[in-house]
Chains A and B, each alone.
Chain A
Amino acid sequence: MPTTTTPPALVAPRKAKRGGRRDGVLPYAMVAPLVVFIGALAIYPTVLTVIEAFFHSDPLTPPNHFVGFGNFSAVFANSQVRHSIESTGWYALFGVVLTVGLGIGIALLLQRPFRGRGVLLAIVILPWALPGVVEGVIWSWIYSPTFGVLNSALKSLRLIGQYQLFIGSHQIETILLISLVQVWQITPLATLLVLAAMQSIPDELYESARVDGAAWYQHITRVTLPLVRPAVAIAMAEALVMSINIFDQVYVLNAAASTGSSLMSQTYFITFQDLNFGQGYALSLFATVATILLSLLILKVVYRKVEY
C-alpha cells in the first residue's frame, strides 16, 4: 500500500552512492526475473481480465463477441449477485470491526513483556498459519446443529432450549458466524501490526502521562491509540481486503446457498458452474476496483503519519 510519502530510498540516497561508479547492467539482471514474473503472471493476466470483461464468453453460446458493458449490466441485474454484494458488505463490516477491535485488545494485553509472552505470541499466531479451508471444516463441526459443541455448551448453560441451526437460516447470523471463522484467522495479523507499532512508543510518554495523573485507561486512549493509528489503518485495510475476498470459509460453510454467499464465491459459481466466463471476468474486475478504492479510502481517512 503506498504510504503518504515517497520511501526515501528512491530519492537518490547519499549513502548508497558509490563515488560516481554506475551499477551498469547488474541491477537489470537482478531485477529481471522479478519483472518477468510479475509482468507475465500478474500484470498480463490482470490485463486479460480487464479486456475479457467486456466480451461475451460462454462456451454454451459461442462465439465470443464484444458486448461493452453487457456483462456488467447482466451481472448486476442478477438478484443472487446483488444479494452476495450486500452479504459481502456485511462480511467486510464484521471482518474489519472484529479483527481490528480484537487485534488492538490482544496487542494491549501483550504490550508489556512478561514471562511466557513468547509462547503466548505463538499461540496467538497459530490460527493465522492454518489454511482457511481447514479452519472452515473445523468450525463447521463446532457449529454443527446436531453434534456441535457450541450447541452443547449453550444448552448446558441453559441459554438455549434445544439445538439451534446456526448456519443457513438467517442471513446476518450466518454471515456473522462465517465471518467469525475468518476473524479467528486474520486477527493475529492485526495484533502483530499493532503490537509492533506499540513497541516503538517511547516509555517517556507513558511516564509523563502518569505524572499528569492520567488513569490507566487514559494511558491507552491518550497515548497508545493515537500513536498506533498508522498500524491500525494498515490493519483495517488488510482486514478489508481479506474480508471482501473471503472464499475458503464460505465455500466450506455455505457452499452454494445464497444465504451467506460472498462476492467471490458467487464469481466462482458463475464462472465454473454456469460457465459464463465473461460475467465472471466482469465481476472480478468490479471486485478488484472496489477493493482498491475502499482500501485507499480507509488509508486516507485513518492513516496519520506518526513521528517521534
Chain B
Amino acid sequence: MRRRLGRLGRVGALTIVVVWSLFPVYWALKTSLSTNVASQSTPVQWVPSHVKFTAYQALFGAGPESQDAAGGIARSLINSTVEAAGATVLTLVVAVLGAYAFARLRFRFKGLLFYGVIATLMLPVYATLIPLYRIMADLGLVDTYTGIILVYASGFIPLAMWIMYNVFMALPSSIEEAAVIDGATTMQSFRKIALPMSRPGIAATAIVTFLFGWSQFIFPLVLSSSDATQPLTVLLAAIDSRNVPYTIINAASIIAVAIPAVIVFLLNRWIVTGITAGGVK
C-alpha cells in the first residue's frame, strides 16, 4: 500500500515536472496558432478554438497580416545558424587540439597555460564585452560573421577544452601506448586512436557549444548592427518592443526554439554527457 502511494506520488511529481518544463513552450505554440482575438480572450483558451497559421505566414511575408518583421526572420534564422555552427567548428578544432596536448603530452609551462585557460571560465560576460567590441571594431569586423564567430569562440573555448580534456583523460591510454610501441607518431595516435575513441565526447561538446551559440544575446546585441548578422535572439527582443501582435511574437519565439528543441529531443544523450563532463570541476 505504501509502495502504491509512493509510486503514485512519484508519478504525480514527475507529471508536475513535465508540465513545468513544457508548459511555457506549449503556451507559446498555442498562442502562435491562435487568432489575435482568441489569444486575447479572458479567461484564456487552453486549446486554440481555431488553429490558424496566419502568424507564421505573416512572419514570412505572406498572408493578410504581413509584417515587416518578415525577411527579418528568415535572414535571422540563417544568421543564428551560421554563427552558432561556425563558432562550434572553430571552437572544436582549437579546443580538441589543445585538450589533447594538455591531456597526453608533456611540455614546459603546461600547468601555467592550462590554468590560465581554465581561469577565464570564471570571467562573467561583461568583463570582456566592451573591449571585445573595440577590438572587433579596430579589425573592421563589426557586423560580420567572422567577428561574431571569433567572439563566440573565445567564450566557448575554455569550457570546450575542459570537457575534452576530461574526455581524453578518461580514455585508457593502453591502446595509444601500444601504438607508440609499434612506431606511431603522436599525431597518428591522436588522429587514428584518440579522436575516434572520443567521438561521443566530441559530439557532446559540439552540441553544447552549438546551443550556447544559438542562445547568445548581449554580444550580438552590441556587435551586430544590421540585419546582415543579426541572430534570432536580437530580432525577437526588438520586435517584442514594437507594437507587433502577440500571436506573431510567439510565432517568432517558436521558430527560435524549434531548432534547439529538435536537437534536445534527438540528441539528449550527448547533451547529458556534455553538461555533466563540463560540470565536474
Using a CB–CB distance below 8 Å, which chain A residues touch chain B?
1-3, 7, 9-10, 12, 15-19, 22-23, 26-28, 30-31, 33-35, 37-38, 40-46, 48-49, 52, 105-106, 109, 118, 120-135, 137-142, 146-149, 152-153, 155-156, 163, 184, 188-189, 192-193, 195-196, 216, 231, 234-235, 238, 241, 244-245, 247-248, 251-252, 255, 264, 267-268, 271-272, 277, 280-281, 283-285, 287-288, 291-292, 295
Contact = CB atoms under 8 A, between A and B. Distances in A.
A18 B222 CA distance: 49
Contacts of A292: 122
A152 B271 contact: no
A1 B250 contact: no
A147 B268 contact: no
Contacts of B233: 131, 133-134, 248
Interface string B116-138: 11101111111111111011000
A48 B127 CA distance: 9
A126 B25 contact: yes
A185 to B, nearest CB: 9
B279 A2 contact: no
Counting chain B residues whose Cβ lies within 8 A of the other chain, the interface size class is 35 or more
A166 B264 CA distance: 31
B21 A31 contact: no
B27 A34 contact: no
B97 A31 contact: yes
Interface of A is mostly: helix
B6 interface: yes
B27 A38 contact: no
Interface in B43-62: 43-44
Q: What 3 pairs across the A-B complex have the smallest Cβ distances? A: A34-B98, A41-B154, A45-B131
A41 B156 CA distance: 11
A239 to B, nearest CB: 11
Interface of B: 6, 10, 13-14, 17-18, 20-22, 24-25, 27-28, 31, 39-44, 93-95, 97-98, 100-107, 110-111, 113-118, 120-132, 134-135, 150-151, 153-155, 157-158, 161, 165, 169, 173, 177, 180, 186-187, 211, 214-218, 222, 232-234, 236-237, 240-241, 246, 249-250, 253, 256-257, 260-261, 263-265, 268-269, 271-272, 275-276, 279-281
Interface of B is mostly: helix
A118 B215 CA distance: 24
A38 B131 contact: no
